[in-house]
Amino acid sequence: MAAESSIRRDTQAASEEGEALVPAMFQNLIGYHLRVAQETSFQAFARAAGKADLKPGWYALLTALAERESMTPSELSRICGRDRSTLTSSLKALSHRGLIARRRNPDDQRSYSVKLTEDGRKMQERLHEIAVVQNARLDEIAGEDKAVLIDVLGRIAATFGTQDF
Amino acid sequence: MAAESSIRRDTQAASEEGEALVPAMFQNLIGYHLRVAQETSFQAFARAAGKADLKPGWYALLTALAERESMTPSELSRICGRDRSTLTSSLKALSHRGLIARRRNPDDQRSYSVKLTEDGRKMQERLHEIAVVQNARLDEIAGEDKAVLIDVLGRIAATFGTQDF
DNA sequence: GCAAGATAGTTTGGTGTCAAATTATCTTGC
DNA sequence: GCAAGATAATTTGACACCAAACTATCTTGC
């Protein structure tokens, strides 16, 4: 595992040893801790997925598709919280790799729907396994605070996510 | 304010009305809620800063510099948790806009240090005001759970941020 | 001293994201 | 029926980010 180690060790990013020490000014800021927690945990997921040669960014897309059988890009955009223009390129990549299939909507020539292919489903399942492990780790860390954590995070998302400025 | 409204309203992104409804598969996943909470709250900050024509991404950088008088790019990288290569372009932009000044290190020709200019300090202060408002909002939402929230987020960051894979 | 290795910063290439503008198609009001 | 507006997706342009490769400089061991 020394070899594995070095992959991470010689990167130029932060999170090395001696260490950052939360800048005093940020210590009490929820937003700061939110960002750091989210970034580090996502990166852990990305690393785990990357080792298995999987694209972590596809997980949300594939999982949403795994639940609905078929969706238009716009629906997927709403569900995943990404701009439609972002979906255009993601779907192009997924399609190119044979993970999804597109089908024109006969009732509306502007629109089409996408669904998982067999390969897409397999990829989703492999990513899901990694996500499950990652999430078990998070559950363990949160321990008895999990319910409170999810509740507060939900309140934050609800407050900022629904108001139109 | 109808005009303000439309800026946001006609974007193609999600977080519109009827609305996403958390996909069942994600409902219980801490990672998912973490991501959504962080993204929505950051976007709220970015919108607020954007209205005042400020670059939200510069806040962390300028604030770190506001606390230390002078730092090298590498130190800033560690403190802000960004890759050194990311800093290169950020610092170029900040410098170009006269918000920071660079000074070569006479003892080491490879290195230099950056410090805030007067304009940089002003920008930091204006961004800070917005951050304070934003954070008051978060504090309000978190309410009595704030301490638990920060604690759990800190544990998450500590766990994923310090292990070398 | 000087070669080998470490370190500071930059460059290059790739990803993911948003927003604005664009194209094609559909719907509505008259 | 047809013009005006709405809607679905795409294109284009801009950023922020990371990682790997690179350049220049410093440090160390001998």
Give the per-residue pLDDT at A165. 44
The answer to whether the CB atoms of A135 and B42 lie below 8 A apart is: no
The answer to whether the CB atoms of B164 and A9 lie below 8 A apart is: yes
Give the DSSP letter of residue A127.
Answer: H
Give the per-residue pLDDT at B20. 45
Q: Is residue A120 scored above 80 in pLDDT? A: yes
Give the per-residue pLDDT at A163. 58
Task: Tell the residue number behind the tokens 């409902």, with chain if given.
Answer: B27
- B161 confidence band (pLDDT: 50, 70, 90): confident
Q: Best mutation site among A156, A159, A162, A163 for testing chain B: the one with the most B CBs within 10 Å?
A: A156
Quick: pLDDT tens for A5-41. 333 333 344 333 334 466 677 778 899 899 989 998 9
Q: Best mutation site among B22, B84, B137, B141 for testing chain A: the one with the most A CBs within 10 Å?
A: B141
Return the number of other C-beta atoms located less than 10 Å from residue B145's C-beta: 16
- B127 confidence band (pLDDT: 50, 70, 90): very high
Separation between Cα atoms, residue B145 and residue A145, nearest integer Å? 10
For chain A, the average pLDDT equals 83
Average pLDDT value for residue range B147-158: 91
CB B134 within 8 Å of CB B44? yes
Average pLDDT value for residue range A48-77: 89
Give the per-residue pLDDT at B17. 37
Give the per-residue pLDDT at B106. 93
Give the per-residue pLDDT at A2. 34
Which residue has better confidence, A25 or B150?
Answer: B150
Give the per-residue pLDDT at A21. 60
Strand D bases, protein C-beta under 7 A: 7-13, 15-21, 24-27
Sign of CA dihedral A24, A28, A31, A37: positive
Q: Is residue B23 scored above 80 in pLDDT? A: no
For the domain made up of B30-157, give the CATH fold.
Arc Repressor Mutant, subunit A (1.10.10)
Quick: pLDDT tens for B38-86. 998 998 888 888 888 888 889 999 999 999 889 999 999 999 999 999 9
- A67 interfacial to chain B (CB closer than 8 Å): yes
Q: Please tell me the least confidently modeled range out of A53-57, A87-91, B98-102.
A: A53-57
- B131 interfacial to chain A (CB closer than 8 Å): yes
Which protein residues, judged by their CB atom, are less than 7 Å from any atom of strand D?
Answer: A 7, 10-13, 43, 72-74, 84-85, 87-89, 91, 108, 110-113; B 12, 55, 57-58, 81-83, 85-86, 89-90, 93, 107-110
CA A106-A109-A112 angle, 5° bins: 75
CATH class of the domain whose range is A28-159: mainly alpha
Which residue has better confidence, B128 or B16?
Answer: B128
* Percent share of chain A, pLDDT over 70: 84
- B163 confidence band (pLDDT: 50, 70, 90): low
Separation between Cα atoms, residue A50 and residue A4, nearest integer Å? 12
CB B124 within 8 Å of CB B116? yes
Separation between Cα atoms, residue B10 and residue A101, nearest integer Å? 29
Give the per-residue pLDDT at B83. 94
Can you give the distance from the CA of residue A89 to the C1' of nucleotide C14 in angstroms?
A: 14
> Nearest-CA residue to the C1' of D26?
B108
Task: Tell the residue number behind the tokens 């005042």, with chain if given.
Answer: B52
Strand C bases, protein C-beta under 7 A: 7-13, 15-21, 24-27
β-pairing verdict for A112-116 and A100-104: antiparallel
Separation between Cα atoms, residue A61 and residue A48, nearest integer Å? 18
Concatenating the DSSP letter of every residue in A102-143 gives EEE-TT-TT-EEEEE-HHHHHHHHHHHHHHHHHHHHHHHHHG
Which residue has better confidence, A146 or B21?
Answer: A146
CB B94 within 8 Å of CB B108? no
A82 interaction partners in chain B (CB closer than 8 Å):
13-14
Indicate the domain borders of chain B: 30-157
Q: Tell me the β-bridge partners of A101.
A: A115
Return the number of other C-beta atoms located less than 10 Å from residue A102's C-beta: 13
Give the per-residue pLDDT at A15. 38
Amino acid in the structure at residue B82: R
Quick: pLDDT tens for B81-122. 999 999 999 999 999 999 999 999 999 999 999 999 999 999
